Amino acid sequence: MDPWEWNPTMDCWAWRPILTWSLADVVAIHQRHGLKPAPPYLEGAERVGCAPCIMARKSEIAWLAERYPKRMAILADLEADVDRIRDSRNAEAGKPHKGYRLGWFYSKRGPPKGAPTYRPFWKLAEVIEWAQGPQNQVEMFAPDPKDFGCMRWGFCDAGDAGK
């Protein structure tokens, strides 16, 4: 991305002032102004803007499902709502069903080995089950638990901010 980009849809310039900042830069400005990170960061989250991020690692999805089951249930309900609305609109327009359900995650890759057919969309519950499955027992690049939360960025005095 560029720091400045014209957005013709909004008829304005988009400015990304912190696009080139490092994690250290972000932590430094928080500390300089006495601000704590968003509580999920203090609980060990890697990213919190879009949770679950459709680009999340298995460990992140498993972590979110364990830590925020109510949020995951709300998102699963939204998936079902989108399916119902799509089905209703397609029926009104006389369009045939495409044979798959919409889901939170979209795979551009082909079917996994051994899968009978390609399904582009994966329901949140299916992705959570996959993330918590046996193939998730070891993740080579998962952060060490001691690097989570306040220890990670030097916010040890954050107290109960992560609760």
Q: What is the pLDDT of residues 46-86, one digit of tens each?
A: 777 777 777 777 888 888 899 899 999 999 999 899 888 98
Torsion of CA 14, 19, 25, 29, to 10 degrees: 20
The pLDDT score that the predictor gives to residue 97 is 76
Amino acid at 128: I
- Give the tens place of pLDDT for each residue, 3-62: 999 999 889 999 999 889 888 898 899 999 999 888 887 887 777 777 777 777 788 888
Closest CA to 72 of 153, 140, 128: 128
| pLDDT given at position 11 | 93
Segments making up each domain of the chain, as ranges: 14-142
Asked whether 62 and 75 are in contact (CB, 8 A), the reply is no
Query: ω into residue 52 within 30 of 0, thus cis?
Result: yes
Gyration radius (Cα) of the chain, Å: 20
Please answer whether residues 125 and 62 qualify as being in contact, where contact means their C-beta atoms are separated by less than 8 angstroms: no
